Structure 1
Amino acid sequence: MAIDPRNPDASYLRFWREYHMCTLTTPRLDGTPHVVAVGVTYDPERGLARVITNKHSHKVVNILAAGPDGAPVAVCQVDKGRWATLEGRARVRTEPELIAEAVERYAERYGRNPAPNPDRVLIEIALTRAMGRA
């Protein structure tokens, strides 16, 4: 079911605020999908999803290889019969204030502060599509 990523219904938004691990799918250089488990936060007001990670990770390498326009990606979460997917263009952000905001949002959703990481970066996804059944 298609959903406006900037104006989701209450049940969809509530699902994205529950504690669920997610997957992030990025395109490898050869075009095949690279899928990894991540924590994701969803900000419909800004039309963004955020993933904090290490700058040396394969997902970051894949996104950077796509060039300045970013990479097409998807994040997804599943809980029994409920599921939700957010799609968009991902870019790697290194600005300390954006990373700090992403860490705060992660702590709020997942109930814990991630360990300090001097190599932390932010994968910021400008959302273009949402779908699911929450």
Structure 2
Amino acid sequence: MAIDPRDPGTAYLSFWRERHVCTLTTLRPNGTPHVVPVGVTYDPEAGVARVISSKSSKKVGNVLAGGVDGAPASVCQFAGRLWATLEGRARVVTEPEAIADAERRYAERYERTPSPNPNRVVIEITLTGAMGSRALRD
């Protein structure tokens, strides 16, 4: 059963507020998946998930290869038998205010300030779907 990413329910949202390493899946230009560990913040009110990254990373290149329409992407986290996935269209955001906001959200979720990085960008995923363990569905 699908979960509304803008109204996921309390158990699902609570799980996304816990500190977990996540994975980001993007597609390489040849169509094969590229999966890497990342920190993710989830903003259901805006319908967005954010990943901070260096602009020279492969994941950023994969998103940029999607062109103006963005690229398909998903983020996932799990703990024991619980899992949750958010999916949508990703784009790379370079505005300083957006980067500062993403860094603040990351620091809040992961309880540590990200290291300074003058080449930082944000992968912003506009969410189109969510799914997860039955136990996370209210």
TM bucket normalised to smaller: over 0.9
Code of the residue aligned with 2:31 in structure 1: it is G
Give 3-state SS (helix, strand or coil) of 1:6's partner. coil
Gap regions ≥5 residues in structure 1:
none
Deviation, 1:68, is: 0.6
- Give the ranges of 4+ consecutive aligned residues of structure 1 lying more than 3 Å apart after TM superposition: none
% identity of equivalent residues? 69
**TM-score, normalising length: structure 2:** 0.96
Deviation, 1:28, is: 0.2
Corresponding position of 1:58: 58
Matches within 5 A, 1:1-134: 1-133=1-133, 134=136
Deviation string 1:73-99 (CA, Å, 9 cap, x unpaired) is 010001011000000000000000000
**TM-score, normalising length: structure 1:** 0.99
Instruction: Provide the aligned length of Structure 1 versus Structure 2.
Output: 134
Computed over aligned residues only, the root mean square deviation of the Cα atoms, in angstroms, reads: 0.5
Deviation, 1:2, is: 1.0
Q: Distance in 1 between matches of 2:65 and 2:123?
A: 14
Give 3-state SS (helix, strand or coil) of 2:45's partner. coil
Give 3-state SS (helix, strand or coil) of 1:105's partner. helix
